[in-house]
Structure formats: structure tokens, C-alpha cells
Amino acid sequence: MSEEKARILVIGAHPDDAEAGCGGTAALWCKKGFTVRLVSATNGQTGHYEQGGVTLTQRRIAEAKAAAELIGAESQVLPIPNGGIEPNLIYRSMFIRLIREFNPDLILTHRPNDYHPDHRYTSQLVQDSSYVVTVPNNCPEVPALKKNPSVMYLCDGFTKPYPHQGDIVIDIDSVAATKIEMAHQHTSQMYEWLPYNAGQLDQVPAGEDQRRKWLFERRMPGNAKIADRFRDRLVARYGEGKGRAVKHAEAFEICEYGGALTDEKREWLFGGL
């Protein structure tokens, strides 16, 4: 296993969710030669205050592709309307086909307790598909997988019914600027929709370099909070000196419904990061 190159499938609900949740770790995986695909379960067509429909959908697909290309990852946006995803049989079959076609060793997605219905239902669809991908008579036109991929959750701050466990925590200081550059590609969200929705559109700088600095100051404190929240995990992983010095981190929680994440597999996927 250690000689093989892992295949990582990140399924976020929207075209910028995968980058937000694990852009740093994805960059580190790509540097190791792993195959990483960043997927958006919906097409993002409602994520703006002026644009929509075909124009916004095509724009967001292009933004997601540009972000993935920065680290050498693949990009895919599913044809499910933004705000219209549901955990039904039609979309479950779509997820089963997606997972089988990519044949991942690990799937990352949202937790099922989340403020956004698109996040919750994306998570539910991954869970509902994670075992069925090995059952040949489900979606029989696509060959079933021989093994059930492991599944992990991206980090969040929600506490009910329980807070994120942070089973594996990764130092992303070396790729923090890369993570921001990935977010920078999502102009429609980082500099238009999200500031508008927060009543801060007038605060967005005009210049590209100023925008990157502004984005770093807005986005990376979230990863600093993850580092502080799971400081003991960082110390256990990297040692006292480095673990205490980590400024920005990403964390992942093991989902009990996927294939077992054995110690050997954990080392293969996360060792050296």
C-alpha cells in the first residue's frame, strides 16, 4: 500500500466548499503525487445577488476548475441545482456512479449536522452511497467497487449533537498561501456574493494583491482556530516544538459508515503531511 498513490475524492456541496474544507491538505497530497478530485455536488447557480442561471453556473464551473488546476487536482461539478439537492434515489445513484468511476481510497465531505441543507444532504448522499458502491446490482451498468472507500468529515464549528472530533489534524502552514490562491479564483464568491451577503461589499479592495491580503485576513483565522482547538493533536503528531508552532491547520473526523481506516491506511494517506 505504501508504494501506491492514493486516490482522494473531496465532495463539497458548492464549487468552493472543497477548497475551503481541505484546500491545504489537498495541495500537500498533490505534491505527493496522489490523485485528488475536488467535486461540487451542486452547480452554484443561486450563489449571487445579480447573476444566476447559465451565466453564473458556467462562471462557477470555470472558477472551480482554475482553483483545482493550481495544485494539480481534478475538478468536477455535478448537474444538480444549487439549493435543490435532496437525499433521494436519483441523486444517490448519481453519487454511486461518481464514486465508482473515480474509485477513491478516501472520500471527504461535510458532516450531516450543518447549517446549510445542501451541505447536510451532500453528506447524507455520501453516507448512503458508501456501502452500496460495492453492491453489483445497484446501478449495474457501472462495475461495483471491490472495496468500500473510507469516509471522513471536513471540519466545522457546530456543536450539536456533538462537536467535530478532529481525529486527524494536518499542519497547512507551508501551503496557506496556496489555499488562499485557490479561494482567490472564486471571484464570484470571495469578492462578490459572500461580502454582499454579509453587508461588507464596500470593504472589498480593488487590486489583486490587496484582495489576496484581505482574503487571507478574513479566511485564515478559521484555520488558526482549528490549530488552537486541536493543539494537543498537533503536538502528538508533530512533536512538542513543531506542534506548538503550527499556525494554521485542517482537521478531519472519521465517519463510521465508510471502509475501515486502519493504522496502515492512515499512515499511507496522511503520513509525511
Kindly list the domain boundaries of the chain, sorted by start residue: 7-172+249-270
- Residue 151: strand, helix, or coil: strand
User: What pLDDT is recorded for position 120?
Assistant: 97
User: What pLDDT is recorded for position 35?
Assistant: 98
Q: Which fold has domain 7-172+249-270?
A: Rossmann fold (3.40.50)
Tell me if 24 sits within 8 A of 170, measured CB to CB: yes
Report the 10 Å Cβ neighbour count for 137.
7
User: What pLDDT is recorded for position 2?
Assistant: 62
| Cα first-last separation, the chain | 17
pLDDT over 70 (residue 1): no
User: What pLDDT is recorded for position 90?
Assistant: 97
Mean pLDDT of 47-56: 96
Q: How many CA atoms lie within 13 A of 254 on its CB side?
A: 11
Q: Is the pTM of this model over 0.85?
A: yes
User: What pLDDT is recorded for position 3?
Assistant: 72
Chain segment 129-148, per-residue pLDDT in tens = 999 999 999 999 999 999 99
Q: What pairs with residue 38 in β-bridges?
A: 10, 75
pLDDT over 90 (residue 151): yes
Chain segment 205-258, per-residue pLDDT in tens = 999 999 999 999 999 999 999 999 999 999 999 999 999 999 999 999 999 999
Beta strands at 249-254 and 168-171: parallel, antiparallel or unpaired: antiparallel
Return the percentage of the chain with pLDDT > 70, whole number: 99
User: What pLDDT is recorded for position 189?
Assistant: 98
pLDDT over 80 (residue 113): yes
Q: How confident is the model at residue 273 (pLDDT cuts 50, 70, 90)?
A: very high
User: What pLDDT is recorded for position 244?
Assistant: 98
Q: How confident is the model at residue 66 (pLDDT cuts 50, 70, 90)?
A: very high
Average pLDDT value over all residues in the chain: 97
pLDDT over 80 (residue 184): yes
Chain segment 29-50, per-residue pLDDT in tens = 999 999 999 999 999 999 999 9
**Cα 178 → chain centroid:** 15
Q: How far is CA 185 from CA 45, 60, 67, 162, 219, in A?
A: 17, 10, 6, 33, 14
Q: How confident is the model at residue 197 (pLDDT cuts 50, 70, 90)?
A: very high
Kindly provide the b/e burial profile for residues 49-64, where b requires at least 16 CB atoms within 10 angstroms of the residue's own CB. eebeeeebbebbbbbb
